Amino acid sequence: MRWLVGSMLELVYSPPVWATIIAAAFLLTTLTLSLYLLFEHLSAYKNPEEQKFLIGVILMVPCYSIESFVSLANPSISVDCEILRDCYESFAMYCFGRYLIACLGGEERTLLFMERQGRATFKTPLLHHSSHSGIVNHPFPLKYFLSPWKLGPRFFQIVKFGIVQYMIIKSFTAVLAVILEAFGVYCEGEFKLGCGYPYVAVVLNFSQSWALYCLVQFYTVTKDELAHIKPLAKFLTFKSIVFLTWWQGVAIALLYTFGLFKSPIAQGLQFKSSVQDFIICIEHRWALLP
C-alpha cells in the first residue's frame, strides 16, 4: 500500500519551476560544451584507436545530464533513468581503461611494457610508500588480504578483469533493480532490510571500488609512459564523475533516512532522486572544462 501511494505521488508530482529552469540552463550548457568537444575530436580524427574510446568517455557527461533532467521532470521513471545512466557509466569505465591501453600502443605493446617493468626496478606506487623490483604492493589494509602483484601478463589480466567485472555486475544489478521495482520492493534510497536498494548499494560499492582501485594501480604503473596525454587530470576527472556521483546519491539517501536533509532544495524537490538529479544537472557541466 505504501509503495502504491508513493507511486501515485510520483505520477502527479511536478518539480518546482525554479528547479526546472536552473537544471535546463545547465543542461543546455553541458550539451553545448559536449558537442563542441566532440566536434573538435571528430574534426581531427587522426588516431581512431585512441579517440573512439575517448569519445565514449566524453559522452558519459551529456548522458548523465540528459537522463538526470528527464528523471527530474518525471520522477515516476527515475529508476529507469538511473539504470540507463548506470549502464552507460560501466561502459564509460571500460572505454577509459581501453583508452589508456590504446595510448600505450595497444594490448600487445602494453604487455611488453609490463614485462619490461617487471624486470626493472619499480618506482614507488601511488598507493604505497615502499616497493620491490617489479612488484606492485598494496596499501593498508589490503596488503593483509592480497598478495603483491608482479608486473606482467598477470597484472594486466587482473586490471582488465577488475574493470570488466564492474560492467557485468552493474548490468546485472540494473536488471535486478527493474525486477524489484516492478514488485515494489526495490525502494530506491531507503535503507531497510525488506528493500533491495541497500543490498544492491553494498554490492555496487565493492564492485566499483575494486574497478577504480585497479585503474589507480594501472595508472601508477603507466603514468610516466602516458605523460604525453597528462593522465592525472583525466584520471581524477573520470574518477570524480563515477565515484563521487555514486557516493553523493548514497549520502543523500542516508541524510533523508535519518531526517537530516532539511535544506530548501530538499524540501522543494520532495523526492531523494529529484535532489540527486538536480545536483547532477548542475555539477556535470564542470567536468567538460579544459
CATH number (domain holding residue 187): 1.20.1070
Is the CB of residue 160 less than 8 Å from the CB of residue 244?
Answer: no
- The pLDDT tens digits along the chain (290 residues) read 444 434 444 455 567 788 888 889 988 988 898 888 888 888 888 888 888 998 888 888 888 888 888 888 887 787 778 778 878 888 888 888 888 899 888 888 988 888 887 776 444 444 443 344 578 888 888 888 888 888 888 899 999 999 899 889 988 888 898 888 888 898 877 788 889 988 998 998 899 889 889 988 888 888 888 888 877 777 777 767 776 776 777 777 777 766 666 655 555 555 566 777 777 777 665 555 44
**Residue at 133 is within a domain:** no
**Residue at 10 is within a domain:** no
**Residue at 116 is within a domain:** no
Q: Which residues of 73-107 are buried (b: 16+ CB within 10 A; e: fewer)?
A: bbbeebbbbbbbbbbbbbbbbbbbbbbbbbbbeee
User: What is the extent of the structural domain holding 34?
Assistant: 16-105+164-288
**Residue at 135 is within a domain:** no
**How high is the pLDDT of residue 129?**
39
Pairing label, strands 149-150, 135-136: antiparallel
**Residue at 93 is within a domain:** yes
Domain count, the chain: 1
**Residue at 219 is within a domain:** yes
Is the CB of residue 217 less than 8 Å from the CB of residue 148?
Answer: no
**Residue at 139 is within a domain:** no
**Residue at 112 is within a domain:** no
